[in-house]
Each structure stands twice: as structure tokens, then as C-alpha cells.
Amino acid sequence: MRRRIFNIIQIGNKDDVPSRMFDIGITIVILLNILVTFLETFEELSDLNGVFKVIETVTVIIFCLEYILRIVTADFLYPKESHFMARIHFLRSFDGVVDLLTILPFMFLSGFIAFRILRIFRIFHLFRINTQYDSFNMITLVLKEKWKQIGSSLVIIVIIMLAASLGMYSVEHNAQPEAFPNAFSGMWWSVSALLTVGYGDIYPITVLGRIMAILIAFLGVGLVAIPTGIISAGFVEQFRLRSASDKKFQDIEQIGEIVITKDHEFVGKSIGEITSGSDVSILLVLRDEMSLLPTENIVLKKGDIVVLRSEALKNNRVKEMC
């Protein structure tokens, strides 16, 4: 029974009707809970507070039941650990912490302001939806694979942002000390300028400051494009990989391998001689413990394993070639 519950609540299996229904149901519950959290902030809807309270109570009860079930079935999620350590592992995991933080504010809503602020964490419950769809999983995969490049670009942005802040303070402090009282005060301006937002609440008035602002604004356009380009390239790469993996290899019947014996006709011949004027294409040569990429100058030896593509393989004439 616990295994079945785990398969339903943890594994998003589209072919399993109960699992699919659970995914859809929990998604609706999450969206309802977050929607109520937003609507409660409107004074115009104060007459519906009773309805909001009922919806919030029901959704939180569902969250509690789901949280308990995930704790009970945590040993299936971490099969290499004991029952107790598996549950501890889940409680300390990202999903476990977010699940707990979405429940606590409801219980202590009238208490400390810290618990009321924790209602924000209900939004992070939407990450549960993320795990059910490949399109969202691709975002996570791209960020994981490109995090080094993205991190490097963000470091560059921070360095230039600090330099812009210090530079603007140096040239604008004497002209408008109330706007740039210290070096950190230029941080807000540098962020808005580098990110090409330009709110206009703080702006340079000196000639040198305006020249610097023009340069920084143009520089900001390029800086923002760096992480955007990295992420875009990651998406293109993932789409190509998935498209390639989804394709059916129609020429798979034309691919085979040949073990070169001492009497084989390929012994002592180069790849260029074998492929010249024939329909044979050599894809890979396995020699001892090495994998050799085929070039025209490679001479085949006894014991080599040749992976090739040929129409003869499709026509069931493998023995003729071997």
C-alpha cells in the first residue's frame, strides 16, 4: 500500500490514471491556495473573507495530508537509507522544507509577523508543478548545465556595477551630495542603468557624470545579453538533443560490425582504400582498448572491430562481407 501511495504522489506517471489525477488535483489546490492568498489583500473583497478562509483551510488540510504521506513513504524515495534517516532526509530536503513552510503560516497566522511573512513560501509550492512537465524540467536542466557560465557572467556584472557605483560617486558627490552621499548610494543608480531600466529618480547632472552614464548604459545592454545568450544557447542545445533522441533511426538495419581476422580482405588496407568507390562507410574502429575515429590513413589490423554502414547489411549479405 505504501509503495502504491508513493507511486501516486511522487512519480508523475502519465499512464497511471490515479497518479495523473493526483498531479492535476494538487496543481489546482496549489493555485487555489495562492489565488486566495492574493485576493485576501484586496479590501474590496473583504465581504468574501469567509469564503477565502474556508478555501484556505481546505487547501492547507490537503497540504498537511500530502506532507504526512510524503514523510511516510520517504524510504521509497531514498531506498539506500533506513526508514528513519530517509524521513529525516526528506524533512531537510527542499521539497520538505517548502511543504512545511506552506503549512506553518496558517497555524500561526495571528502570531508573529515572521510566520505571516512565511506565506510567501506558498508560491514556491509551484515548483511541485515543475517536476511534472518536461518543458519545465528543461529549464532546470539548462540552469544546472550552464550554472558556471551564468555565474561567471553575473560576477562580471557585479564587478562592473561596483565600478559604476564608485565612479558615479566620485564625479557626482560634490555636485549633488544628497543624491550621492556615499559610494553605496550609487548602487541603485548603477543597477537601474546597467539593467537598462533607468527609473530617473537619481541621475547625473555634471558633464563627466552624463558621459559616464551614456557609456554605462550602452555597456549594460551588452552585459544583460551575456547571461541571456548563455541560457538561450542552452535551450537550443537541449531541444536539439531531445529532437535527435526522438527520431527513429531508419537506417539502423544498415549498420553493423565486423571482426577483422587474419584472412579478412580488409587486413592491411587503409580506410580510404576500403571506402573508395563502394557504398561502405566506416563509422568507428575499435582496436585493443582504444576507439579510433576513422581517417583515410588508418590501416586495419588483425583483431580490429569495424563499425560500418552499408546497403549490403540491409540486404542480409553480412556473411559475404565477413
Q: Say whether both 188 and 267 belong to one domain.
A: no
User: What DSSP character marks residue 41?
Assistant: T
209 within 8 A of 172, measured Cβ to Cβ: yes
Residue ending a domain, choose from 190, 221, 246: 246
Give the residues across from 286 on adjacent strands: 291, 305
Cα angle for residues 265, 286, 280 (degrees, 5° grid): 45
- Asked, for residue 137, whether it belongs to a domain, the answer is no
Strands 281-287 and 290-292: antiparallel
At 3-31, the pLDDT tens digits run: 888 888 875 566 778 888 888 888 888 88
Q: What is the pTM of this model?
A: 0.50
Share of the chain above pLDDT 70, in %: 80
Q: Say whether both 233 and 273 belong to one domain.
A: no
Q: 59-68, 139-148, 237-246, 266-275: which has the minimum mean pLDDT?
A: 237-246
- Asked, for residue 138, whether it belongs to a domain, the answer is no
pLDDT of residue 137: 65
Counted domains in the chain: 3
Residue ending a domain, choose from 209, 230, 246: 246
Q: Say whether both 125 and 173 belong to one domain.
A: no
Q: Say whether both 297 and 235 belong to one domain.
A: no
Residue-range definition of the domain harbouring residue 151: 147-246
Identify the sign of the CA torsion 186, 189, 193, 195.
Answer: positive
Q: Say whether both 25 and 90 belong to one domain.
A: yes
Q: 94-98, 119-123, 167-171, 271-275: which has the minimum mean pLDDT?
A: 119-123
Q: Which residues of 100-119 are buried (b: 16+ CB within 10 A; e: fewer)?
A: ebbbbbbeeeeeeeebeebb
pLDDT of residue 318: 44
